[in-house]
Structure 1
Amino acid sequence: MTFRLRAARLTDVEPLYEMAKLTGGGFTNLPADRDAIEAKLGRSEAAFSRTSDDLGDDQFVLALENAETRAVRGTCQLMTQVGQRWPFYSYRLNTLTQYSKELDRTVRAELLSLTTDLEGSSEVGGLFLHPNERAGGLGLLLARSRYLFIAMHRPRFADRILAELRGVIDDRGGSPFWDGVAGRFFGMSFQDADYFNAIHGNQFIADLMPKHPVYVSMLDEEARKVIGLPHPTGRAAMRMLEKEGFSHEGYVDIFDGGPTMTARTDQVKSVAEAVPAKLEDGDLDIGERAILATGTLDSFRSCYGLREMRGDDGVAIDSRAAELLGVSEGDEVWSVAR
């Protein structure tokens, strides 16, 4: 395989912008706005350059590159601590139980409550793969390489981590959830609100959204039935997150109602199982399939390859992976079984 993941650079703005136009909306972390993407890449470069190895308000953008053509064909992001620039809002789906002694009847009502419970968590997001490259496990490489990056830079990330999945979008590009809930108060379409949020943040939600809980039973059927459901294209991503140890604990996106998955960072499978070792041999022929990574911050690179663990602190990898990573004997290589 000729693909590797690396730190994104300001020169990647055009390919990322072209991919953003293919997302179909509802993809806040990759807006189809060149200036917004350029600003995101500038913030990412500042994060890669920060020398203090502690938890800050950083955003890292990674780019999937074809090593032969240098074409950028995918991207993903990591946010170290959400809710620092503006509040991080979610809806929490919970149940209110009430009992009437006179009627001898118990009534249970589902409520959507506006909350900032997840503020301070790290986030993995912004994963997008060019439609022509959605084969061969590249989506898995993008997703799980983020966890290797976290393991390799653990002090820079919080103890809880989240992933927001895009909710159900209809054929018109609208959101049944938005139309049934927030859209009633804002007088703007889902596309307009989602774009505004991507560019300016969601403080306008705090300014205009009613703070009282919303009774789910009072919503129309189209809005009710999509609460907590991912977009059809995100079902595989949800299963992947579940395999890593993420779970859905009732948090949903305030715009499209998509599920927010959460986990303890150190319990994420690919973080817990990631191991560093010194490269002893870069010409392995037969071995275990793995995701391999090397480098620190802006020199980070990852790819698929073969590995063979040797002793407690040695590893052998195949020559193609060694070439993609640019490593030689004695260099540190992190890995996790594929």
Structure 2
Amino acid sequence: MTFRIRAARTRDLQHLYEMAKLTGGGFTNLPPDRTSLRTKLERSAAAFARDEATLGDELFVLMLENVRTGEVRGTCQLFTQVGQQHPFYSYRLGTLTQHSKQLARTFRAEMLALTTDLEGACEVGGLFLHPGERAGGLGLLLARSRYLFIRAHRARFADRILAELRGIIDEAGGSPFWDGLAGRFFGMNFQDADQFNAINGHQFIADLMPKHPIYTAMLSEAARSAIGLPHPSGRAAMRMLENEGFHYENYIDIFDGGPTMTARTDKVRTIEAAREARIVAIDGDGGDEALVATGRLGDFTCAFGLVRSVGDGIVLSRDCAEALGVAEDDTVLHVGRW
């Protein structure tokens, strides 16, 4: 296997920065700001260095690396428990039903309420794959490696999990949802607000955003039509999340209106289906395609491989064993590729 997932290192700053410049905006977890990215890598290094199996407020950054060339071509992030340093805000889309006896009519109005319902959940995010590598299932490897990391370090992550998908961004890099709602209160465009949030956190939302519910009928048509929709480039990611058991439960991002998907951590399909097994042999005689992971914390690696069950162990394909640096009698975590 040419590619593997590994723990990020502080020397990956330039790799992260180059990828951040390619995101096209609205990517809060990967801002094109060296100081912010350096802080992320330092925070991730501290998380990898802590060996206690307890829940904290931590960030893990993983990298997609070409085994043969050493090139970094993608990244993803895991937050163990959101909303601990700053409130974690979302909008919840709800309905208010009212009835008039005099008119003999029932009125149903959609409303957006600012909430911190998802505070305390863990989060998978920050997934970016270089445009030149968007084939061969590498996005799948990035996405599902996060769940194997959680499975290998389950005590470090909360019982509820979320994933925020980027919302609709127009050709000029603006957000119809932001322009129709929050932008009216903040006096700044979407790009400036998104960058400020990526670097400084959500506190300015608490300071300036009105706390009363917003009737969606009062928003522009462009803003209403963006509610709960992912960016076109994120539709495949949304399908992968749904395949893992995530659901859209009417929570949306406060900046661009994109959907927030949620699940119970132990019910995520990859986490629930993953199994540990001892490698009894390494060869190239085929097997079923799988994601295979090994190592803890900073030694964690993950790659695609061929796995064949033999008794209570597995036979692992040679290229995968080389990518992961494992040998016979080592124990790995594996789950089928779907």
The two structures share one fold, judged by TM-score above 0.5: yes
> What residue identity is the alignment partner of 1:8?
A
Q: Could you tell me which residue of structure 1 aligns to residue 249 of structure 2? A: 249
Q: Alignment partner of 1:76: what SS? A: strand
Q: Could you tell me which residue of structure 2 aligns to residue 49 of structure 1? A: 49
- Once the two structures are TM-superposed, the CA of residue 35 in structure 1 deviates from its matched residue by 1.2
Q: Could you tell me which residue of structure 2 aligns to residue 5 of structure 1? A: 5
Structure 2 residue runs of 5 or longer lacking an equivalent are: none
Q: Could you tell me which residue of structure 1 aligns to residue 233 of structure 2? A: 233
Q: Could you tell me which residue of structure 2 aligns to residue 162 of structure 1? A: 162
Q: Could you tell me which residue of structure 1 aligns to residue 190 of structure 2? A: 190
Per-residue CA deviations over 1:163-195 (Å, capped at 9, x if unaligned) read: 000000000000000000100000001000000
- Aligned mates of 1:124, 1:99 — CA distance in 2: 42
Asked if 1:59 is matched to 2:63, the reply is: no
Q: Could you tell me which residue of structure 2 aligns to residue 323 of structure 1? A: 322
Contact 1:284 1:307 in 2 (8 A): no
Q: Alignment partner of 1:225: what SS? A: helix
- Once the two structures are TM-superposed, the CA of residue 284 in structure 1 deviates from its matched residue by 4.0
Per-residue CA deviations over 1:310-331 (Å, capped at 9, x if unaligned) read: 334x111100000000001111
Task: Give TM-score, length-normalised by structure 1.
Answer: 0.99
- Aligned mates of 1:111, 1:125 — CA distance in 2: 27
Contact 1:162 1:260 in 2 (8 A): yes
- Aligned mates of 2:309, 2:77 — CA distance in 1: 29
Contact 1:124 1:161 in 2 (8 A): yes
Mean Cα displacement is larger for which, 275-284 or 21-30? Answer: 275-284
- Aligned mates of 2:48, 2:315 — CA distance in 1: 28
- Once the two structures are TM-superposed, the CA of residue 48 in structure 1 deviates from its matched residue by 0.4
Q: Could you tell me which residue of structure 2 aligns to residue 333 of structure 1? A: 332
- Aligned mates of 2:315, 2:188 — CA distance in 1: 56
- Once the two structures are TM-superposed, the CA of residue 50 in structure 1 deviates from its matched residue by 0.7
- Aligned mates of 1:285, 1:30 — CA distance in 2: 41
Q: Alignment partner of 2:144: what SS? A: helix
Q: Alignment partner of 1:145: what SS? A: helix
Q: Could you tell me which residue of structure 2 aligns to residue 295 of structure 1? A: 295
- Aligned mates of 1:115, 1:310 — CA distance in 2: 50
- Once the two structures are TM-superposed, the CA of residue 51 in structure 1 deviates from its matched residue by 1.7
Q: Alignment partner of 1:19: what SS? A: helix
Asked if 1:221 is matched to 2:229, the reply is: no
> What residue identity is the alignment partner of 2:161?
I
- Aligned mates of 1:315, 1:8 — CA distance in 2: 29
Q: Percent identity?
A: 68
* CA RMSD in angstroms, aligned pairs only: 0.6
Q: Could you tell me which residue of structure 2 aligns to residue 77 of structure 1? A: 77
Q: Could you tell me which residue of structure 1 aligns to residue 128 of structure 2? A: 128
Q: Alignment partner of 1:62: what SS? A: strand
- Aligned mates of 1:134, 1:295 — CA distance in 2: 27
- Once the two structures are TM-superposed, the CA of residue 285 in structure 1 deviates from its matched residue by 1.4
- Aligned mates of 1:95, 1:306 — CA distance in 2: 49
- Aligned mates of 1:282, 1:322 — CA distance in 2: 7
Q: Could you tell me which residue of structure 2 aligns to residue 68 of structure 1? A: 68
- Once the two structures are TM-superposed, the CA of residue 103 in structure 1 deviates from its matched residue by 1.3
State the aligned residue count: 337
Structure 1 residue runs of 5 or longer lacking an equivalent are: none
> What residue identity is the alignment partner of 1:209?
M
Task: Give TM-score, length-normalised by structure 2.
Answer: 0.99
